[in-house]
Amino acid sequence: MKPFFNQPVGEVLQQFNVSPDQGLSSAEAKKKLEEAGPNQLASKKQKFIAVIFFEQFRSSMVVILLIAAAVSGVIGVMEGEGLTETFIILAILIVNAIIGVMEETKAQSSLDALNKMSAPRSKVLRDGEVTETVSTQLVPGDIVILDTGDIIPADMRLIEAVNLKIQESALTGESVPAEKSTEAIDTEDVPLGDRDNMAFSTGVITYGRGKGVIVSTGMDTEVGKIAGMLQSAQETETPMGKRLEQLGKILGYVALGICVLIFAVGMLYGNHWLEMFMMAVSLAVAAIPEGLQIVSTIVLAIGVQRLVKLNAIVRTLPSVESLGSTTVICSDKTGTLTQNKMTVVEGMVSGNRIDFRNPPVPEELSDDERILLNSSLLCTDAHLKMLPDGTHENAGDPTETAIVDIALALNLNKNEEDRKYPRVSEVPFDSERKRMATVNQMADGKLRVNVKGGLDEVL
């Protein structure tokens, strides 16, 4: 079977036996959900607290301390000195395990809370009606309605695209939104970033609108395949874990050597074998640093708390030391090291440059500068959402959201400008014209045309 991006829209719809105007029926969707499973990435099975607790006793250092506790107990009983030292060693190990469990379960709880908060919803066509549903309930064959600001819930073949642009930097690393179409692609081996008729899970629509039929969900999506590779990767021991493991082995060999040496010397001097054995074992136990494990755990826990204050979640304590031992980090730039966000740096009005990195006071803006900002706002399709805490969120093309941001910094609100000067007509942006135009009704009742686009095309 040909890849979906090679197939015309009609073939894809026929393959899923779905109408672009009716969508799936509720019964069909329910049946497919049972077959394909929920539209979500598989997560590793959470461990029980008891399992996490006993995992804290796996290192050779802890094993040696357990052996030391047992030997101390035997010696204490035989010599009538009690079990004080045994209880102290066991208490240290239990406190060490409790700290490890607390930090790991706390991190998992934070991740679970974030996952619940970020569960997106999508507009889907079912039984001929558009309904909003949780994205995890979507199935292959569903027709999804796409608008500016929506997050792509699953991989889909586009069946309608009107000036559609999708930000796919999370998947492809490209900072510029990809322009989309519905035409079938003739070439078979096409990179993800060049599949213009496909929309991939986690993408964000920055401009235009469209409609798509879902072709894969959950772990079958491109993002799911990446998640599968990450989950199948084998966990390696941290540098600190390797050093503690090596230290534990060395201490074990040293303790064994002490036992053998003292026992042999005592026997040469004619001492009783049981007396020499007890002495050798006592000295070997004394040579083991019981406090090393708890000290290292406490230090790592302090590091975790410092990272928490910087909004970082650490799932396991040893990860803190791994981060500190890292010498080279290979990372995608867009959206990881950068905010994947454009800003207006400079403008020009009537031959005068405006440095927006140090914006002027709003009251000192000239009439021409106000007209420039006003026209720029009216000729954008970005959305501005003011939040209760006084901050704001933007949705739309990165270039347009940059204009909205700088205008808001100069006391020009996109929403208020749209209300005062309603849009009467528009010519949307397209890749051939490389410009867009809007017609707005001004305060005096007259109409004004605002044009925005490439420099050569506008001039």
Alpha helix positions (H), 287-439:
292-309, 318-325, 367-378, 398-409, 414-420
For residues 371-389, b (16+ Cβ closer than 10 Å) or e, as one string?
ebbbbbbbbbbbbbeeeee
Q: Tell me the pTM.
A: 0.59
Q: Give the pairing type, strands 383-386 and 143-146.
A: unpaired
For the segment 252-289, what is each residue's pLDDT rounded down to a tens digit? 788 778 778 888 888 888 887 777 777 776 776 666 66
Percentage of the chain exceeding pLDDT 90: 18
Distance from chain centroid for Cα 113: 13
List active site positions.
332
CA angle (417, 420, 426) in 5-degree steps: 75
In the β-sheet with 447-453, what is the strand arrangement from edge to edge?
Answer: 423-427, 435-441, 447-453
Low-confidence ranges of the chain (pLDDT < 50): 117-118
> What confidence tens digit (pLDDT) does each residue in 377-432 have?
999 888 777 777 777 777 777 788 888 888 888 888 888 898 999 999 988 877 77
Sequence-ordered list of residues with C-beta below 8 angstroms from that of 349, at least 6 positions apart, any chain: 366, 368, 369, 372
Q: Sketch out the chain's domains with CATH numbers.
A: 4-39+138-227 (2.70.150.10), 49-113+237-325 (1.20.1110.10), 346-458 (3.40.1110.10)
Which residues neighbour 52 within 8 Å (Cβ) at sequence distance 6 or greater?
100, 101, 104, 105
